[in-house]
Amino acid sequence: MPHSKPILKALSGIQLSPPPIWLMRQAGRYLPEYRATRRKAGDFLTLCYTPDLAAEVSLQPLRRFGFDAAILFADILLVPHALGSDLWFADGHGPQLSRISSMQDVRRLAPPGIVRESLAPVFETVGILSREVPRDTTLIGFAGAPWTVATYMISGKGTTDHRDPIEFMRSERAAFDALMDRLAEATIEYLLAQIEAGAEVAMIFDSWAGSLHGIEFENFVERPLKKIIRGIADKEPRIPIIAYARHVGSAFSRFAKSSGAACIAVDSTVELGWAARHVQPYSCIQGNLDPRFLIAGGSELIDQAQKIVACLSNGPHIFNLGQGITPNADPKNVEVLVEAVRNPRSI
């Protein structure tokens, strides 16, 4: 049966004009209704684990902007939490985790299948969303990729240089390999459970992929992503997958050709003429407006959005940002963006 939803059409390789649109982190702190729901929950983890509230914040941007996709509201660190890592969110400090520093720490983690039980509230959220999203709206489930999740588990927090994870990878290779295997298997289970609950697309985020290079990049970014994509395809071959690996340059072309993903999400550093030549012939492209344009808005926002649409107009394209929307984005500018993408002649 042909797809009727714009996102699913694009993911099947169909060129659409205008392209469908949604935004990474479209449910978040830039929306006053999100902040109100967050206060009602009391803390971030409670919000993630309370299905009615998590579904509510997932639906809020759809009501306001009419996006073509809803994405599950959760966090990439729920998987290590399910595996037994301590996890808490401190205001002004971001996520904090108990650290993995030895093989003994890795062995203490729960088996991958535990995510189906421990993260049952997340799957309940997906079920609510599958019933409540508008008919033409696609429901996206997601997970963090093993390398990105491992950086948090080894550092005990978010970092930018990833010195500790890289050192652990090189000095404690057996433990690092075991951790990556555990995360890959748990991520497959997590995404399959989301699909069983009603997710129509799976997205994998490797936000820190660009911190590895050469053989380490091949072993710990490309290989785990391909393993997860194969693991999903073996059980759910009808489900398209969006792969997002930030700051990986020319590797986007290899991903498009060999990863098995239906769509490659590109960050804002990617030159779109190159992407149109080297990625789009093999894959749908998602991206790639710099989120800073949603702060100031104005003609520059409109111009940039329409340049992206024009540049990627000869193949399948899902309009999105190059990374998640920032808390200081202006919701009025998001409205302008949606209008610029969908009705460029009216701007």
Catalytic residue ranges: 25, 29, 38, 75, 152
**Both tokens of residue 318?**
């899902």
Contact assessment for residue 266 and residue 279, using Cβ atoms and an 8 Å cutoff: yes
Q: Is the peptide bond before 18 cis (omega within 30 degrees of 0)?
A: yes
Q: Give 338's contacts (C-beta < 8 A, 6+ positions apart).
A: 21, 65, 66, 67
Helix (H) or strand (E) holding 339: helix 331-342
DSSP-derived letter for residue 21 is B
Residues forming a β-bridge with 263: 242, 284
Sign of CA dihedral 203, 230, 260, 149: positive
Angle at the Cα of 80 (from 77 to 81), degrees rounded to 5? 85
Sign of CA dihedral 321, 148, 158, 212: negative
Provide the residue count of the chain.
347
Q: How far is CA 114 from CA 28, 146, 191, 275, 339, in A?
A: 28, 17, 13, 39, 43
Sheet containing 241-245: which strands, arranged edge to edge?
69-71, 138-144, 201-206, 241-245, 263-265, 284-289, 317-321
Contact assessment for residue 68 and residue 61, using Cβ atoms and an 8 Å cutoff: no
Residue at 36: amino acid letter: A
> How would you label 165-174 residue by residue, b for 16+ Cβ within 10 Å and e otherwise?
bbebbeebee
